[in-house]
Amino acid sequence: MVLGICGAQGSGKSTMSLALAAALDQAAGLRVANLSIDDFYVSRRIRAMLAADVHPLFAARGVPGTHDVGLAMDVIASLRAAAPGSSVKLPRFDKARDDVVAASDWPVFSGPADVILLEGWCVGARPQDEAALADPVNALERGEDAEQLWRSAVNARLADDYQALFAELDLLLMIAAPSFDAVFAWRREQERKLAERIAATGADGGAIMDDAAVARFIMHYERLTRHILSEMPGRADGVMSLDNDRAVRSLVLG
């Protein structure tokens, strides 16, 4: 079974995935492969090429069009088909460096998986109607995508190969933020914790964002996040609604 978990930045979807994997292992003895769509980001070099060839905003990771969807589907297919004694390498992306981790350093999942968890901010998302793209939702779109080229390209990719990836999901769980306004505070907290972890190890944290950079960064996600918050609850198999402190307000199973 492939379970998708969708949630805005900082909503706790990665933490939930780890806890769910541990619970399934301990309670039912199930072998769980834990995947994040973030680990399928394309490299910084490829994003630079997209920025030059399609639109400059593709230099920033995050939106549909900046993931290696083919690789994600290959990994899921390999996990589905894995035999006892076989192994599947699970890609990793280093957000502190804003680049792909070398394949030689990817962790390995051994043997077949009973459950595959795929979590991510846009997992299970559907594209918007073309007419909805006309009006910009924030300063980033107004100032840097006035001709609608970037958001149209993002929407087109979401309508294409991303739907093939999301068709692999057997169940979809949504972690619903109370509003998009809460996402900035959560994402800022997430970046500060990442900076603390990097500082503690002495590793290179050159791509860590300050608050102003985080505010600009999440504008890349705003359109689709708002669309997900309004559209997905009516069709997801489960919706966990959070308050501003990320406490669970309700859990509705479809």
> Which amino acid belongs to residue 34?
N
Render each residue's pLDDT in the chain as its tens digit; 254 residues. 999 999 998 899 999 999 999 999 999 999 999 999 999 999 999 999 999 999 999 999 999 999 999 999 999 999 999 999 999 999 999 988 899 999 999 999 998 999 999 999 999 999 999 999 999 999 999 999 999 999 999 999 999 999 999 999 999 999 999 988 898 888 888 778 777 877 777 765 556 778 888 888 889 999 999 999 999 999 999 999 999 999 999 999 97
Of 63, 90, 95, the C-alpha closest to 78 is 90
Q: H/E element holding 136? A: none
Fold of 2-253: Rossmann fold (3.40.50)
75-109 per-position pLDDT tens digit: 999 999 999 999 999 999 998 889 999 999 999 99
pLDDT of 46-62, one tens digit each?
999 999 999 999 999 99
Within a 13 Å sphere around the CA of 89, how many CA atoms are in the beta-carbon half? Answer: 10
Long-range CB contacts for residues 91-97, cutoff 8 Å, separation at least 24: 91/39, 91/40, 92/39, 93/38, 93/39, 93/40, 93/41, 93/61, 95/38, 95/194, 95/207, 96/194, 96/198, 96/203, 96/204, 96/205, 96/206, 96/207, 96/208, 97/204, 97/206, 97/207
Q: Residue 230 is encoded by which pair of tokens?
A: 């309004």
Listed by start position, the domains of the chain span 2-253
In the chain, where does DSSP find H-type helix? 13-28, 44-53, 69-81, 139-144, 149-159, 161-166, 181-201, 211-231
Distance CA 34, CA 24 (A): 12
DSSP 8-class letter at 105: G
